[in-house]
Structure 1
């Protein structure tokens, strides 16, 4: 189910221009295991913030009675609705920094989304209020000691990873992945990203979720917190 009647404000980041290729890349390289290995005890309702093309939401729907998945990009949600529809998933177009969901969840997840938010502490506090007692927060986001890495670094990284990707995904998929990583739209998007350092990341999330614990996964940091 796709609900796109919500008012979208401050639309500063959109994946519409490269939604199809992003879905291809995300399908190849998803990190769903981190989330599936940290599900909540109660399996009533789950919320996926920044769901993209619905890869994680679709998998969560195998465990939870209901899944609400929100994203800012209409084209991403169109792909999700077409490829990963299920009777217990509701896709909603909504700004993650201005969530308007008058309901609570047993699990709230998000992958590589929160570095886009202009006021992360405020957003986290709002999200925290939507968690049921004994519910669970599981977030994963990028970290970097350089707030916005140089574009050249991404280009060199894409070239470096091409041969290993050929071994993992096969030549055709690796070539398509390389083209996406070097596409002007994707590089322009990366140039607009603002990442937290590991120290700032831990500070902000620990302040909002006392007692949370962290899992470092390469250039990502995972956050897990239970509402006891």
Structure 2
């Protein structure tokens, strides 16, 4: 079993403020397909960085012998352990800035996490060291030509998406999703985010993972790299 000695700053654990509603939204809007279509050849071990409530980790556990899933938010990890436990998944509270892991992995994934990290090149370098030969890194994160989009833009987008969400998820789920997207805690969280432009994203990730390829998925950019 892996252990984390790192002190967790309560000030940083903003997801604790809305863990249950975030899990609800993330479950509806899961993008697991991007990851399951890009699995590593070897299915021994996988690492999910910023695992949240365990949606992706639980899916990976169907393919891999062992999955280690780390996140800063203890409330999200509590949801993961309650709703998405499995004998081959280990959930650990750990800061993605300081990955205290003495193992290497066949697959390393992360979804919408790395834009929260203050020193992205250093974090990516740490990820690279945790990858086995012939292993694969599959990452997905937000990109935007505006570093921090205005709050009014998030409000307008939430309202605009309501009717399509009703068709996709049903009225009740769409209403709950809209309420979450317009909640003060979520909007305050978004106001603290800092996104890379597509160009900067490709430069930074490409420098760390030479020969990687990129996939644009709406407001997200995917990165896939094999350690050949």
Please report the TM-score for the alignment, with normalisation by the length of structure 1.
0.97
What is the correspondence of 1:58-207 to structure 2 with a 5 Å cutoff? 58-207=58-207
1:127-184 Cα shifts (integer Å, max 9, x gaps): 1000000000000000000000000000000000001100010000000000000000
Is 1:44 matched with 2:27?
Answer: no
Q: 1:3, 1:91 within 8 Å by CA — same for their partners in 2? A: no
Task: Provide structure 2 residue ranges, at least 5 long, that are not aligned to the other structure.
Answer: none
CA distance in structure 1 between the aligned counterparts of 2:61 and 2:22, rounded to whole angstroms: 22
Contact 2:6–2:95 under 8 Å retained in 1: no
The size of the alignment, in residue pairs, is 228
Contiguous gaps of at least 5 residues in structure 1: none
Segments ≥4 residues shifted beyond 4 Å = 1-6
Q: How large is the Cα RMSD of the aligned pairs?
A: 1.5
Please give the alpha-carbon distance, in whole angstroms, between the structure 2 residues aligned to 1:4 and 1:21.
27
Deviations 1:86-127 (A, max 9, x none): 000000000001110000000000000000000000000011
Q: So what's the TM-score if we normalise by structure 2?
A: 0.97
Residue 85 of structure 2 aligns to a residue in which SS? coil
CA-CA distance at 1:12 after TM superposition: 2.8
- Provide the C-alpha distance between the structure 2 equivalents of 1:98 and 1:148, rounded to a whole number of angstroms: 25
Q: Per-residue displacement from partner, 1:21-61 (whole Å, max 9, x unpaired)?
A: 00000000000000000000000000000000000000000
- Provide the rounded CA distance (Å) in 2 between the counterparts of 1:114 and 1:174: 27
